[in-house]
Amino acid sequence: MINISDRHIREHIFEGNFGLEKESLRVTETGRFAHTPHPFPEDKHIVRDFCENQAEINTGVHSSAEDALGELAFHTRRLREHLLTLPEKEYLWLFSNPPYIEDEKDIPVASFGGAQRSKTLYRDYLADKYGRYKMTFSGIHFNFSFGENLLRRGFELSGGDDFRAYRDRVYLVLAKGLSEYGWILTAATAASPLLDSSFTEGGKAGGTVFFGSASVRCGEFGYWNDFVPILDYESAESYAHSIEKYVKGGLLNSPSELYVPIRLKSEGENNLTVLRKKGVDHIELRMFDLNPFTEEGADIRDLRFAHLLMIYILCRPEVRMNGADTVRSVRNFKAAARYDLSSVNYMGRGETSIGMRDAAIRIIDIMRDFFTGFGVSEILDYQKDKFVTGETYARRVREEFGDNFAEKALAAAKERK
């Protein structure tokens, strides 16, 4: 859809707008859930997500992934420093999987009052439908839009007469491409292979559970709807309508309950009325685990790789995404969350399959050829090495925390001052 051989396109190809959201749990000195109120009630950058002790940091919009990550680091430091000043010190949990859980009462639904009371009611609905335990999974959401210069030049080359329709089309094409290939981001950033035994054995704390996932929240037992939503990518209106039919049919409470790795969003409030009125403004990638080996919870090389993948997808032929393709896509995303990628296959079109590890290496090699001369080989080499050597974040977590996950994870949280 974008002609990379055009000089103006090449000049602006890496421009974009970047924003990050990070969820983290607050824990006590003993590694249990904190039961104090949210510590930043009036701060738009540090809010609550599902439960009262799950803080969500939201950055502003930046012109580079580096700047967005820098703001995320700034707010993370603010939050950590404040928690250490409380009468009973608290810490930010570094992992996507939760710490010790006594029972469901240990996970207090976020309390909103007044005009925002509906937020609490919505969370009560989620707790009843999915269970509170699953709602404690935390991660990183990466919000991105292409730069205005790039879009304007692409529109000019397209010969069209409706810029908004062209911009919508860009993100619809991108969403389909990411549905096909975005699983590689799950595989590259998975970092949550371990659980405390209290998650699976009803309050039996202190044991370490591993059942073959590199990312529990992105895998078979993670954050998914209990059906496969089939979305229509022909236009922004048809995309909105395909979500709306699930809301009207009672399968979804609202568009926010659409638990898929890729979502298209409008500027401002996340609802279908705004999407129809303003069109698609940006894309949200929701498959990143918290990276416990970084200060911010994300590695800049992973964010840059995601950016490169989106550029690559937009410059390659458009893929189709019908109902069968969507089901296959969800299967691939869940398979990419497995710990041993050599034991699962990437299901391609026409019922073809290839080992997921080999498929990831093949995609990166193709991207490396595509980006020849752009000076990004170091980023691609970093990602390829994970699949060639098997030295992934998940493997490192299992090696360093595998014999006593919750206790060692708490010690790591306390060291991160």
What Cα–Cα distance (Å) separates residue 51 from each residue in 133, 287, 362, 406?
A: 10, 20, 41, 20
Q: Which residues have C-beta within 8 Å of that of residue 133, sequence separation ≥ 6?
A: 98, 101, 104, 107, 199
Beta strands in 147-202, from DSSP E residues, in sequence order: 195-196
Beta partners for residue 288, in sequence order: 140
pLDDT value at position 296?
Answer: 95
CATH number of 7-415: 3.30.590.20
Element (DSSP H or E) covering residue 284: strand 282-289
Residue 211 CA to residue 332 CA, distance in Å, equals: 18
Give me the half-sphere count of Cα atoms (radius 13 Å) on the Cβ side of residue 150.
21
pLDDT value at position 113?
Answer: 83
Q: What is the pLDDT along the chain (417 residues), one digit of tens a residue?
A: 899 999 999 999 999 999 999 999 999 999 999 999 999 998 999 999 999 999 999 999 999 999 999 999 999 999 999 999 999 999 999 999 999 999 999 999 998 888 889 999 999 999 999 999 999 999 999 999 999 999 999 999 999 999 999 999 999 999 999 999 999 999 999 999 999 999 999 878 899 999 999 999 999 999 899 999 999 999 999 999 999 999 999 999 999 999 999 999 998 877 899 999 999 999 999 999 999 999 999 999 999 999 999 999 999 999 999 999 999 999 999 999 999 999 999 999 876 789 999 999 999 999 999 999 999 999 999 999 999 999 999 999 999 999 999 999 999 999 997
Determine the angle formed by the axes of helices 393-401 and 405-415, rounding to 10 degrees. Answer: 100
Beta partners for residue 56, in sequence order: 23, 47
Q: Determine phi and psi for 150, rounding to 5 degrees.
A: -65, -45
Decide: residue 311, CB within 10 A, 0-12 exposed, 13-18 middle, 19+ buried. buried
Residue 382 CA to residue 177 CA, distance in Å, equals: 22
Cα angle at 247 between 242 and 250, to 5 degrees? 130
Ordered by start, the domain boundaries in the chain are 7-415
Residue 398 CA to residue 389 CA, distance in Å, equals: 16
